[in-house]
Structure 1
Amino acid sequence: MEYGINKGVGRSAEFKGLTAQYLFIFAGGLLAVFVLFVVLYMAGTDQWLCIGFGLAAATALVFFTFRLNAKYGEHGLMKLAASRRRPRYLINRKNVYRLLRDRKGKEAGHA
């Protein structure tokens, strides 16, 4: 089977409804699940336990990735990360008189 990635001019990549950074989350998550599966199997964990873990983790990854895509949209995760880095409050410890005086000086052309 061959799946094409739909991409128009100036649009972000889209695959099966996943857009932008969700493709990287999805691919990286599946790779991490596979590596964890191999590590567990090589460590001697029961084969059926490894298969069950792999299926459950991959199913959860698919579910949560599509849920994030539907909830936040193409640029939503970047906006969420940016809003978390923005300060909640701006604190200005100057008194009101000094703020007004400094503002008048700048308007009058003083540096």
Structure 2
Amino acid sequence: MGNSIYQINKGINQSIEFKGLKAQYIWYLGAGVVGLLIVFAVMYLIGLPPILCVAIITVSGTFLVIKIYGLSNKYGEHGLMKVLAQRALPSAIKVYSRKVFMKNKTQC
């Protein structure tokens, strides 16, 4: 009686994960791979030897994957966005006039 013909999707509201990469890091890796393909095409078209093109892209791709996995492991799903948002906040707000704190009777 406990067997149901319907499967329950238990991954609802979970962030996507692919081979250890979480959330936006999958997109970062995809954009990096597309960028490397473009760089490879440009290098090949300007006449560099194909073996040199492959070597440069292999080294760059390895560095890209290591960096992206490192960011994913260090910051987690939302940590990188929080760090970038924290950097955008000013450390202090400087006001050189008291007018901001004075109550203006005409605006009340």
TM-score normalized by structure 1?
0.76
Compute the RMSD of aligned alpha carbons: 2.2
> Could you tell me which residue of structure 2 aligns to residue 61 of structure 1?
64
Structure 2 unaligned segments of length 5 or more: list them: 1-9
Q: CA deviation at 1:91?
A: 2.1
Q: CA deviation at 1:42?
A: 1.3
Q: Does 1:11 align with 2:14?
A: yes
The residue identity in structure 1 corresponding to 2:80 is L
Q: Does 1:50 align with 2:90?
A: no
> Could you tell me which residue of structure 2 aligns to residue 31 of structure 1?
34
Mapped partners of 1:92, 1:11: distance in 2: 44
Number of aligned positions between the proteins:
96
Q: CA deviation at 1:94?
A: 5.0
Aligned mate of 1:80, from 70, 73, 83 = 83
Mapped partners of 1:94, 1:45: distance in 2: 61
Moved over 4 A (4+): none
- Which protein has the bigger helix share? 1
Mapped partners of 2:96, 2:42: distance in 1: 55
Where 1:91 maps in the other structure, the secondary structure is coil
Mapped partners of 2:88, 2:72: distance in 1: 21
Where 1:26 maps in the other structure, the secondary structure is helix
- The answer to which of 83-92 and 15-24 deviates more is 83-92
Identity across aligned pairs (percent)?
A: 36
User: Deviation string for 1:5-35 (max 9, x for gaps)?
Assistant: xx81111110001011100100000110011
> Could you tell me which residue of structure 1 aligns to residue 5 of structure 2?
none
